[in-house]
């Protein structure tokens, strides 16, 4: 009877040691990586003409047209697989809202008749609208990490982002027409993150999205819907990346 009690006590001690060891290994693995994580991300986007020109301008004899990319945002869900604490691959699906400020200045000649005298003046008719253009993106990004401290890592990443455009847009004399329903682009990221086995991963960084082609035509129409002119518009932007990855339940 006593031997059985001793055996039970020894087995309990062994199981407790094994469980504690597994628990410690789990904590190390959560900091090191080698697991699949789910997260959310939001990125305010900032238009820029630094690398590629986003703002476009066109002038004819009787009119001026301008399209400027304004501030927007990206929001999405991410899946990230850590092969180790130094290397990971990330994908997911993002909702992208781009805002374009479109301006049209139409110059027309006005005839002024005063008695027997006839004169002419140039009048300007100015109109503007904000075009809200949406897209859905599937990113595939590879990240490399450098460990700065026990819980803080720095990363550099690059990959592709395939964007899908569900529809065109039309608002009072301005028509935003997609050039294609799907257009790929390049993604570049740099950032820093805090990793904790209990609260997950908090990431803050910066990114740049670059297309090799324009993504929309901005078509200017008259009051009867007839096309007057058009401008190609790009969609490149800098982004402030704010991400949170949920802790693993392993």
User: What is the CATH architecture assignment of 36-245?
Assistant: Beta Barrel (2.40)
pTM over 0.85: no
Higher pLDDT, 22 or 232: 232
Report the percent of the chain where pLDDT is more than 70. Answer: 76
Question: Bigger pLDDT: 121 or 73?
Answer: 73
8 Å CB contact between 97 and 73: yes
Mean pLDDT of 133-142: 95
pLDDT band of residue 114 (cuts 50, 70, 90) is low
Beta bridge partners of 166: none
pLDDT at residue 221 is higher than 90 = no
pLDDT class of 112 with cuts at 50, 70, 90: low
- The yes-or-no verdict on residue 28 having pLDDT over 60 is no
- Contact between residue 35 and residue 88 where contact means Cβ atoms under 8 Å apart: no
For the chain, the straight-line distance linking the first and the last C-alpha, in angstroms and rounded, comes to 38
DSSP, res 172: T
Instruction: Return the SS3 of 89.
Output: strand
- The pLDDT confidence band at residue 250, using thresholds 50, 70 and 90, is low
Mean pLDDT for 215-228 is 73
**Residue 133 β-bridge partners:** 98
For the chain, the structural domain boundaries read 1-32, 36-245
Taking residues 160-180, what's their average pLDDT?
Answer: 85
The model's confidence at residue 129, banded by pLDDT at 50, 70 and 90, is: confident
User: Residue 139 pLDDT more than 50?
Assistant: yes
The pLDDT value recorded for residue 111 is 57
Confidence of residue 98 (pLDDT cuts 50, 70, 90): very high
């Amino acid at each position: 009877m006593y031997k059985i009690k001793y055996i039970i006590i020894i087995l309990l001690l062994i199981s407790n040691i094994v469980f504690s060891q597994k628990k410690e290994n789990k904590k190390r693995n959560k900091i090191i990586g080698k697991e699949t994580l789910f997260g959310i991300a939001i990125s305010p986007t900032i238009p820029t003409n630094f690398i590629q020109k986003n703002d476009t301008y066109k002038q004819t004899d009787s009119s001026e047209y301008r399209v400027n990319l304004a501030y927007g945002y990206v929001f999405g869900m991410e899946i990230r697989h850590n092969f180790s604490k130094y290397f990971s691959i990330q994908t997911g699906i993002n909702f992208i809202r781009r805002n374009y400020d479109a301006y049209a200045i139409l110059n027309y000649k006005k005839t002024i008749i005063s008695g027997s005298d006839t004169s002419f003046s140039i009048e300007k008719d100015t109109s503007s609208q904000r075009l809200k253009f949406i897209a859905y993106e599937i990113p595939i990004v590879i990240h490399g990490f450098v460990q700065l401290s026990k819980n803080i890592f720095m990363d550099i990443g690059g990959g592709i982002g395939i964007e899908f455009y569900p529809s065109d847009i039309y608002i009072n004399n301005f028509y935003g027409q997609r050039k294609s329903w799907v257009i790929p682009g390049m993604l570049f990221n740099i950032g820093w993150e805090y990793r904790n086995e209990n609260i997950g991963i908090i990431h803050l960084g910066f990114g740049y999205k670059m297309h090799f082609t324009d993504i929309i035509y901005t078509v200017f129409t008259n009051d009867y819907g007839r096309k007057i002119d058009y401008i190609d518009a790009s969609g490149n932007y800098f982004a402030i990346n704010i991400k949170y990855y949920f802790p693993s339940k392993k």
